Amino acid sequence: MLRSIILALSLFAFPVVALAGQCPALMAEVDAALETASLSDEERARVMELRAAGEQQHQAGDHAASEASLNEAKTILGI
């Protein structure tokens, strides 16, 4: 019985851990693209704001919001 409970809990935890792993990769993509992107000052400021928000959300455990912020930054960057 205990083994079944542990297995069930680990299966529920796995997707959360998998999602958490995407945020750093998205941040790295934004960082790399930001170095060579041709953006207006407003676009660059918005991307940097979204990048910072994505990192804060990731650290707070809100990985869905982090991915949304980082994906919006990627859209502005054209990646």
Distant-in-sequence, close-in-space partners of 23: CB < 8 Å, separation ≥ 6: 54, 55, 58, 63, 66, 67, 70
pLDDT score, position 42:
98
Q: What DSSP assignment string belongs to 22-70? A: HHHHHHHHHHHHHHH----HHHHHHHHHHHHHHHHHHHTT-HHHHHHHH
Q: How many Å apart are CA 76 and CA 38, to the nearest integer?
A: 11
Per-residue model confidence as pLDDT tens digits over 12-58: 655 544 445 799 999 999 999 999 999 999 999 999 999 999 999 99
Q: How confident is the model at residue 9 (pLDDT cuts 50, 70, 90)?
A: low
Higher pLDDT, 70 or 14: 70
59 pLDDT exceeds 50? yes
